[in-house]
Amino acid sequence: MDAIDAKASALVLVDYQARLMPAIHEAATAIANGVLLAQAAHVLGIPVIGTEQNPAGLGPNVEQVRNECAVTLAKVHFDACADGLVQALHEARPAVGQVVIAGCEAHVCMMQTALGLLRAGLRVWVVANACGSRRPGDHAAAMARLAQAGATVVTHEMVLFEWLGDCAGPRFRDVLKLIKQAG
């Protein structure tokens, strides 16, 4: 049960909102890694769902992220599960049992959403280097709390290569090309 299974996974990208990003520590890295995860998810047939916190007040996700999401869920709760995320996941992939999640702020909306997904009985992987907070200490505290709560903290490349499973076939080459393009 420790391995991420591409056939049972969905990707959730939380609140990469354009008005928030200038305040996020290393925002460009978090965005780039989130987009790379989404692009690889598309290659592998994994659904990608985005969330936006109070989009009327904070505006939409950055365009690069928004373009990668099949569905973007507007929410008012910090935990997107309270605004229908679990249902959206099951609509996107009825047999979903695993969620790879990343986003902002790591210690608020992303963390509360990941905790909600755990409470809903889903297996959760948090992609630390695709998450951001205004302060690095808040990011670190969120990763520690999520690990204690039962989520597995990973990097984007850990996810990509587990989703692939092996180096055979065109999907490996397609995802490897995305990784090399990203630098």
The whole-model pTM stands at: 0.97
Distances (CA, A) of 40 to 66, 100, 121, 179: 15, 12, 25, 9
Mean pLDDT value of segment 137-153: 98
Architecture of the domain spanning 6-182: 3-Layer(aba) Sandwich (3.40)
Matching residue, tokens 């963390």: 111
What pLDDT is recorded for position 182? 83
Q: What is the pLDDT of residue 169?
A: 77
pLDDT tens for each residue of 126-135: 999 999 999 9
Residue 1 reports pLDDT greater than 60: no
- CA 40 to chain CA centroid, Å, is 12
Determine the Cα–Cα distance for residues 126 and 90; give it in Å rounded to an integer.
19
Kindly state the DSSP code that residue 123 receives in the 8-state scheme. Answer: E
SS3 assignment, position 47 = coil
Question: Per residue in 39-87, pLDDT tens?
Answer: 999 999 999 999 999 999 999 999 999 999 999 999 999 999 999 999 9
Q: What is the pLDDT of residue 13?
A: 98
Q: H-helix or E-strand containing 134?
A: none
Q: Where are the domains of the chain?
A: 6-182
User: What pLDDT score does 77 carry?
Assistant: 98
Question: Coil, helix or strand for 127?
Answer: strand
Report angle CA 28, 9, 48 to the nearest 5 degrees: 45
